[in-house]
Amino acid sequence: MKRVFSLIIAMLLIFTMTACSQPDTVKPGSAAVNEGSSAADDNMSTDKGQDPGAVMRVKVMNMDSSSFLAASMEEGANAADIYRINAEKIKLFDKNSVSADIDELKTGMIVDIHYDGAVMESFPMQLGGIGSIHIREEGDDIAGLYMQVIKDLYKVDPGLNSDIQRLAFDLNGAPNLTETEKTALVYLAGNEFGLETLRGTFEELREQGYIDKDLLAFETGLLYTIEVKSQEEDSFVFDARKWRGGDGAYYFLNCTAKKGKDGWTYTIGGEAIS
């Protein structure tokens, strides 16, 4: 009996020592597990909370040394979404993701701008914390072609330009420009001529008081209208005019625009004056 009792005591001692030597184990919901889960959750939150930055796809509308005017090409962009981008010291990559020089950036190109998500409200707007710019495709500089048309029209019959204060543009007939591209074109025209610019149709300008309802004359400015008549992949036909009044307008008719290796050019089919 004494021997049995000693054996029981020995077994109890072994069990106690084994239990003491085991590492701490915790049941689900205990403090230790919560601490471990909290650390893991913190890491996950940090990963998710890190701002990976934002990417905006734009078209280069005009180059000015190391900066350029950009028109948003994002789906759902507002007509006013144009940006002044300072590309100096910003990493630029070509279509093959190879480092490129700023000289390789051309008007008409579609690029992705990687930035921190901040937008500075000005006009044009600015993007904050730009990290890199990636060229995606060559694109078409049709706005540049229209700018040339506008300048050419401005030169002819200069008497129509006398004492003007503003230029208005009806670009509803130019489906080969997005709304943001139209805004950028009008903005660039204002810079080119040093005049106030606005968009509007004849009826809209008349309702706003720019065009005299009785005289049917735009006493303080010119109304430019561009209307595409037919369009193919690398060419289109259009009419353009500048209008000051019923007896003061100049027309470029049946103009043919063609895309060549050096970009877009156009020829005038005919001219008219009223």
Q: How confident is the model at residue 37 (pLDDT cuts 50, 70, 90)?
A: very low
Q: In angstroms, rounded to a whole number, what is the distance separating the alpha carbons of residues 83 and 94?
A: 21
Omega prior to 175 cis, within 30 of 0? no
Provide the pairing of β-strand 221-231 with 166-173: parallel
Residue 32 or residue 55, greater confidence: 55
Superfamily of domain 54-137: Nucleic acid-binding proteins (2.40.50.140)
Q: Specify burial of residue 225 (Cβ count, 10 A radius: 0-12, 13-18, 19+).
A: buried
Q: Which pLDDT does position 255 carry in this prediction?
A: 99
- Whether residue 210 is predicted with pLDDT greater than 90 in this model: the reply is yes
- Whether residue 165 is predicted with pLDDT greater than 50 in this model: the reply is yes
Hey, where are the domains in the chain?
54-137, 142-273
The mean per-residue pLDDT over the stretch 13-38 comes to 35
- Contact between 183 and 154 under an 8 Å Cβ cutoff? The reply is no
Provide the pairing of β-strand 196-199 with 166-173: parallel
Q: Any idea what the Cα angle at residue 209 is, between residues 205 and 211, rounded to 5°?
A: 60
Q: Is the pTM of this model over 0.85?
A: no
Residue with tokens 């981008």: 85
